[in-house]
Structure 1
Amino acid sequence: MPTQPFGPSPLGDVTAIVLGHAPGPVLELLDLGATVHRLWVTGGDGTRRDVVLGHPDPAAMLASTSYLGGTIGRYANRVAAGRFELDGRPVEVGTHDRGQHLHGGPDGFDRRIWTLVEHDDHHAVLTLTSPDGDQGFPGEVTVSARFDVGDDEVRLTLEATTDAPTPVNLTSHVYLNLDGEGSGTIDDQVLEVDAPAYVGIDATGIPLPGPPTPVDGTPFDLRQPRRLGDVVRLDHPQLRGAGGIDHNYVLAPGDGTVRPVATLDSPRTRTRLVLSTDQPGLQVYTGNGLDGTEQSSTGGWHRQGDGLALEPQLFPDTPNRPDFGDATLRPGQTYRCHVGWRFEALGP
């Protein structure tokens, strides 16, 4: 399967890997950040489109703060003040988002050149070694990202092992727009999430004390399909504080099985995305921070609401919140996260 140069960077030359064949999905990966750079699918209207947001070159990727399409680690989402205790001893990790640790720190996995170890027409495996002390995290962690492209679905399997106890929470930060990159906002697209509760946050994105909040009677109730433009403009303090949705949804229990958890529909292109995962949480982010300062892969500029990130993961700040579970990976264990993006045509 062809690989091709994507461009130089201070980290080294960046390579693109192309998987799949039309009329099915065609995925363009980058070894910089194990990034989903382009994803071409055939819409229900018969037109092929790139349905993910991307940057034009490695320089734009490294200058960005939006994590477009990147594989996120060592800990996705936030850790309060970058501090937690692990087996009774204090740990301090890098902070760069309003005093909090976000998405692996200032130099997360999305900003590394991964090693392409295996690929053919329909799959690729990339690996990364995160040394002991990386961004402050203990233990050497070895990570793999396997992408498989089928007739109507792209699947991602993330795995990690460690030689010392350490928190691990990996995800993919793909921004979706089923009308195509450069088509404008996702306001008219319709989202459904199988989640009975969400995690409220403070002004810096850190979970509030106490249990998750039931979605009943709130704008966060997406158990029935809702137009995104209607939801993000409702008057609710959590929406106002985040500038839209940027919250962890507590998914309906799945006992660690891979199951469909969300759908996104575009009435305009008659295209549906079905998102599957085995994770307990789904960070829903409506692109609130896209501010027109970062260039798109089509030559335009990403603006607020141009894409929707659906990030399966463990809950934010779990290292400080035993009520959220345990994010610690220990020697002899294997961390796994499965994500599937299946595309369907909608009727006229």
Structure 2
Amino acid sequence: MSSISQELFGKTANGRDVSRFILSNNNGLTIKILDYGGIITDILLPDNNGKSNDICLGFDDMEGYLTRSPYFGALIGRYANRIAGASFELDGKTYKLAANNGPNALHGGIVGFDKVLWTATIDNDKLLLKYISADGEEGYPGELTVTVIYELTADNELKLDYKATTTKATPVNLTNHTYFNLAGHESNNLNDHVITIPGHSYTVLDENTIPTGEIRPVDGTLLDLRQPVRLGDVLEKVNNGLGFDNNFHLPSVEGMQFGARIEHPPSGRYIECYTTEPGMQFYTCKNLKDTKGKNGVVYKRFGGFCLEAQHYPDSLHHANFPNTILREGDTYKQKTVYKFGVKM
């Protein structure tokens, strides 16, 4: 059995109420989600001794999410990851976006889906969030209607079901940007985590973290995570010591597929991710620097990790990447599942 309750969490900058929804099941798993940005603020998961801890990085109040959040826990859109040059051409017209990551566009712009208030509805044991993005919002064409359904099951699965429709052709690439640490959000250490990602190849990046268009096999590199790898053995070596911020290409299959598993042997906790998306962005928080979070904890580099199921970054400029254009009359669909567990 799972249940949902609701509480007032705070207010937006313009004074609108922000609610937090508490999803719980009988296994001691509790997940808390805001209608602001669809943000996952807390994930309480017992360890192999039955001790519960919060494995989600975040803030204690709205002030943090409004003023200094590095996308903690949020829904990302219209377009997750980067778009080179903060512009794209579609059907013969050039669209200019906000350059909020150097010369590039990142995670939907200045006010992406992570910074808006969604309309929330409770449907039995499901939380439904809806947002209508206006034509021209952040430079993107078409009025985009997005719904995301969160469901916590009795099997410790957090299911995210995304759908979107548009009035004009527009790029769409949605994901969730939760920062996890299976040792507890306060640990600031990923060394004992063990990662497995079945990606057989990855997107090669330039010095500005923009894809070159090359898709390169992981064989013989530190990006080969097809067999379990202890993060403490590679974090200071991969990407010139900056850790992981890479898009892995998952095997091409129909429907849901295994996207990643990360475990923390000392606590027994693990997360498995399954998705319909073709890519898995694995990020170990190279840019997390002295961010004051929950309970006064100061989060630091390698203090958490993200498993972002999505399409490839900057697909708009690479014809060999999977398509991210949604057209009028079609429906964008994506399903991602985070399965939480404890190995006794």
Provide TM-score, normalisation by structure 1.
0.94
Q: Over the residues paired in the alignment, what is the CA RMSD in angstroms?
A: 1.4
- Separation in structure 2 between the aligned mates of residue 62 and residue 219 of structure 1, nearest angstrom: 36
What is aligned with 1:264? Answer: 262
What is aligned with 1:247? Answer: 246
* 1:3 CA drift (Å): 1.0
What is aligned with 1:276? Answer: 274
- Separation in structure 2 between the aligned mates of residue 64 and residue 230 of structure 1, nearest angstrom: 31
- Separation in structure 2 between the aligned mates of residue 299 and residue 334 of structure 1, nearest angstrom: 43
- Separation in structure 1 between the aligned mates of residue 31 and residue 342 of structure 2, nearest angstrom: 18
Residue 109 (structure 2) aligned to one of 105, 109, 132: 105
- Separation in structure 1 between the aligned mates of residue 229 and residue 246 of structure 2, nearest angstrom: 16
What is aligned with 1:26? Answer: 30
- Separation in structure 2 between the aligned mates of residue 97 and residue 45 of structure 1, nearest angstrom: 43
| Alignment-mate amino acid for residue 64 of structure 1 | R
- Separation in structure 1 between the aligned mates of residue 272 and residue 110 of structure 2, nearest angstrom: 32
Residue 315 (structure 1) aligned to one of 308, 312, 315: 312
- Separation in structure 2 between the aligned mates of residue 90 and residue 226 of structure 1, nearest angstrom: 43
CA contact (8 A) 2:166 2:327 kept: yes
Residue 178 (structure 2) aligned to one of 167, 174, 177: 174
1:128 aligns with 2:128: no
1:58 aligns with 2:62: yes
Fraction of identical pairs, as percent: 34
Q: Helix, strand or coil: the match of 1:240?
A: helix
CA deviation map 1:248-297 (0-9, x unaligned): 11111222x112221001011011211110100011100111101x2212
CA deviation map 1:193-245 (0-9, x unaligned): 01001112122211024x211100100000010011211212x5xx128x211
| Alignment-mate amino acid for residue 245 of structure 2 | D
Q: Helix, strand or coil: the match of 2:64?
A: helix
Q: Helix, strand or coil: the match of 2:191?
A: coil
| Alignment-mate amino acid for residue 323 of structure 2 | D
* 1:83 CA drift (Å): 1.1
- Separation in structure 1 between the aligned mates of residue 128 and residue 204 of structure 2, nearest angstrom: 36
| Alignment-mate amino acid for residue 343 of structure 2 | L
Question: How do 1:153-302 residues align onto structure 2 when only pairs under 5 Å count?
Answer: 153-209=157-213, 211-234=214-237, 239-240=239-240, 243-255=242-254, 257-292=255-290, 294-302=291-299
CA contact (8 A) 1:247 1:284 kept: yes
| Alignment-mate amino acid for residue 148 of structure 1 | E
CA contact (8 A) 1:329 1:335 kept: yes
CA contact (8 A) 2:193 2:263 kept: yes
Question: How do 1:75-90 residues align onto structure 2 when only pairs under 5 Å count?
Answer: 75-90=79-94
* 1:22 CA drift (Å): 4.0
Q: Helix, strand or coil: the match of 2:211?
A: coil
Residue 138 (structure 1) aligned to one of 136, 141, 144: 141
* 1:162 CA drift (Å): 0.4
| Alignment-mate amino acid for residue 155 of structure 1 | K
- Separation in structure 2 between the aligned mates of residue 175 and residue 51 of structure 1, nearest angstrom: 8
Moved over 6 A (4+): none
CA deviation map 1:309-344 (0-9, x unaligned): 010000000111111021100111111121111122
- Separation in structure 2 between the aligned mates of residue 298 and residue 145 of structure 1, nearest angstrom: 29
Provide TM-score, normalisation by structure 2.
0.95
